[in-house]
């Protein structure tokens, strides 16, 4: 069988959420947008609910409606994009809580769904989503009179603990929300790790739950194991892969594995990347193509039938470093061709 295997350890995932929850010492939500960072909302969200999560966050209303069908009525589902045109039926029927980002969204929400719960998202300096200070000042008393479920903002540089932007955004968020009765939320994974000043009433961890940085104590969640299709001996002067970018300098045993950029194995990581066969690191040779990758298995004793790209010893952030990206992209790029299996949960 040439299909690669993607394994997801739900016990490790829940342990990561519980560890971040313990650090927060507040209510702790869970971010499950983008199909739970590519790992499958239908399996991840129930496991997190069983672990104790009662507030979930998604990017768009369509995700929220799908999550409601999965989890049922007993959790709160918050939508970062707020109330968009065309969302009325989804928000109403799935009982979603839109995080209102503008005066226009506020007007749309109260006119189309009067009395329906909502939250507020504020721009504390990231300039991405949320009401800016002047907009919030104009709307604040009206919005607070309707008892928003949550008032939140988002940190731009929380993965860099010493970055001045963290304190700048904290001060801005406090200035915009000081004295309000509504629960407040500023921190995802990185903000949780910045300390209690950033925790407020709710935190909303994402990447750390899935085993990624900046949560260095996270347990690995994902394994990716790719079968070998063919092994050959390559002589000095011969090349491997498209473009002749790798040429053998000595006799080399090369395994061709059944994976490539169509599976979310980013082409950009090829020049730096390794896989593992047991404890042996094996270099990727040449370019990563759509379905196939060449691997140097010269130092491996015996036949090689499978290699591991993600494992306990090689996580998503290592792959991200090789590709010049971040762990989020590695996770959310994982393709649909894998045979997925779940343990625990």
Helix (H) or strand (E) run with residue 189 in it: helix 189-194
| Residues found in the chain | 345
Is 283 a catalytic site residue? Answer: no
242 as an active site residue: the answer is yes
Q: Alpha-carbon distance 163 to 157, whole Å?
A: 7
CA pair distance 25, 263, nearest whole angstrom:
38
- Looking only at the bridges linking them, the beta strands covering 27-28 and 30-31 are unpaired
Annotated catalytic residue, options 95, 198, 210, 242? 242
Alpha carbons 53 and 49: distance in angstroms, whole number: 5
Instruction: Write down the catalytic residue from 33, 37, 210, 328.
Output: 33
Write the burial class of residue 267 (CB in 10 Å: 0-12 exposed, 13-18 middle, 19+ buried): middle
- The region that residue 34 occupies, defined by phi over 0 for left and psi between -120 and 50 for alpha, beta otherwise, is left
Hey, what are 271's tokens?
């020049």
Cβ neighbors of 164 (< 8 A, separation 6 or more) are: none
Count of beta carbons in the 10 Å neighbourhood of residue 195 = 11
Integer CA distances (angstroms), 154 to 22, 29, 35, 124, in order: 21, 14, 20, 7
Measured distance CA(265)–CA(284) in Å, rounded: 12
Which residue from 68, 65, 102, 70 is spatially nearest to 83, judged by alpha carbons? 102
Residues belonging to the active site: 33, 242
């Amino acid at each position: 069988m040439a299909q690669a295997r993607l394994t997801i350890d739900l016990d490790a995932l829940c342990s990561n959420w519980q560890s971040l929850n313990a650090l927060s010492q507040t209510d702790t939500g869970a971010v499950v947008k983008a199909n739970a960072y590519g790992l499958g909302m239908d399996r991840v969200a129930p496991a997190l609910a069983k672990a104790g999560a009662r507030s979930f966050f998604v990017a768009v209303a369509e995700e929220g409606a799908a999550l409601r069908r999965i989890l049922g009525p007993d959790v709160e589902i918050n939508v970062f994009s707020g109330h968009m045109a065309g969302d009325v039926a989804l928000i109403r029927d799935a009982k979603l809580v839109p995080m209102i980002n503008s005066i226009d969204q506020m007007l749309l929400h109260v006119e189309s769904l009067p009395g329906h719960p909502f939250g507020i998202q504020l721009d504390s300096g990231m300039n991405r989503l949320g009401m800016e200070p002047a907009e919030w000042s104009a709307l604040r008393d009206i919005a607070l009179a309707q008892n928003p479920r949550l008032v939140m903002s988002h940190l731009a540089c929380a993965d860099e603990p010493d970055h001045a932007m963290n304190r700048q955004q904290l001060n801005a968020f406090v200035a915009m929300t000081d004295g309000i009765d509504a629960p407040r939320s500023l921190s995802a994974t990185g903000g949780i790790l910045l300390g209690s000043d950033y925790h407020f009433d709710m935190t909303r961890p994402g990447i750390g739950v899935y085993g990624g940085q900046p949560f260095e104590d996270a347990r690995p969640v994902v394994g990716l194991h790719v079968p070998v299709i063919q092994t050959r001996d390559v002589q000095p002067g011969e090349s491997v892969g498209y473009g002749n970018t790798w040429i053998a300098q000595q006799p080399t045993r090369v395994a061709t594995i059944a994976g490539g950029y169509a599976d979310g194995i980013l082409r950009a990581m090829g020049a730096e990347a390794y896989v593992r066969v047991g404890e042996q690191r094996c270099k990727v040779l040449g370019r990563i193509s759509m379905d196939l990758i060449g691997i140097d298995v010269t130092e491996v004793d015996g036949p090689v039938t499978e290699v591991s790209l993600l494992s306990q010893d090689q996580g998503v952030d290592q792959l991200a470093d090789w590709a010049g990206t971040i762990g989020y992209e590695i996770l959310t790029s994982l393709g649909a061709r894998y045979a997925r299996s779940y343990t625990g949960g």
